Amino acid sequence: MSVNLKELSKKPDILTPGHRLCAGCGAPIAVRQLLSALDNPVVIANATGCLEVSTSIFPYSAWNCSWIHNAFENTAATISGVEAAYKSLKRQGKVKEDFKFIAFGGDGGTYDIGFQSLSGAMERGHDIVYVCYDNGAYMNTGVQRSSATPLGADTTTSPAGAVVPGKLQHRKDLTAIMAAHNIPYVAQGSPSHFTDLIKKMKKALAVKGPAFINVLAPCPRGWRTETSETISLLRLAVDTCFWPLYEVEDGKWNLTFKPKEKKPVEEWLKHQGRFRHLFKPENRHLIDQFQEYVDKNWETLLKRCEVS
């Protein structure tokens, strides 16, 4: 499945300029790349979060499509209901166009609060695409830890101090959990590898039934990084194999990018203020634990994809 960048550049923006997301935010970069894969009219449901509040400040909207704001927990349920209603109207001959249905949620509204809703929508088999923009915490409400927050991260609810050195648990592997739902298509992507990401969205839109895409989306405020570093941080996340790029099509695991040289994970960690305390001598063991976790997951992924 090819990506013609010249043709994509001619498409009108669905997420238009003028929103109030922060400079350097990974979410709008990912959303605009993903929506460039669309060739059909679309209905988008958006969980409460940075993407929602910053693109719909009354009386304005940055969305050039049918768009629904949902609570944290029910985006997947809402888009499921819209898709079911559309199918009924289609059978009755009241709707002629072929619509697509997409939900966007951050990691708080996907990994945690909205997981029950998401799992149910996937199990029921709705013809939808759910996209998680994973910035690793509840950034919109003050940078609280989520189950997507990596080990050792300093957040307002996992503060790094003399007693506790940041978050004590590893992050949840939601992409693998969604693959375990045995849905037609699951993928993990990054805006730094945009042709790979757009191809994955095209595949997700093409399948009949549910699809899920997990996208890493840096938050300069929560990660405590420079706004100009977003794409370079994404590349490092991929090159260190903290955020490997792969897809699962009808149960078959495929690696879509393998770094020529797997970099140590501290190359990614050291650019982020939320991990600065890990480089103190007394916390160095947490970097070793982090590396062991990444290495183990990478080896497991290679086996699943049958790549040596």
205-247 confidence digits (pLDDT tens) = 999 999 999 999 999 999 999 999 999 999 999 999 999 999 9
Q: Is residue 3 part of a domain?
A: no
pLDDT at site 308:
80
Which residues sit opposite 158 in a β-bridge?
155
Q: Kindly report the average pLDDT of the chain as a whole number.
A: 96
**Is residue 132 one of the residues assigned to a domain?**
yes
In a domain, 80, yes or no: yes
For residue 52, the domain's CATH number is 3.40.50.970
* pLDDT band, very low/low/confident/very high, at 172 (cuts 50, 70, 90): very high
CA separation for the pair 162, 258 (Å, rounded): 38
Contact 37, 198 (CB under 8 A): yes
Confidence of residue 8 (pLDDT cuts 50, 70, 90): confident
For residue range 13-30, list pLDDT tens digits in order: 999 998 999 999 999 999
**Position 27 in a domain:** yes
Question: Does residue 75 contact residue 113 with C-beta atoms inside 8 Å?
Answer: no
- Asked, for residue 141, whether it belongs to a domain, the answer is yes
Host domain of residue 128: 12-304
Does residue 1 lie in a domain region?
Answer: no
DSSP tally for the chain: helices H, then strands E: 12, 8
Question: Does some domain include residue 203?
Answer: yes
Domain count, the chain: 1
The predicted model gives 35-63 an average pLDDT of 96
Residue 7 in any domain: the answer is no
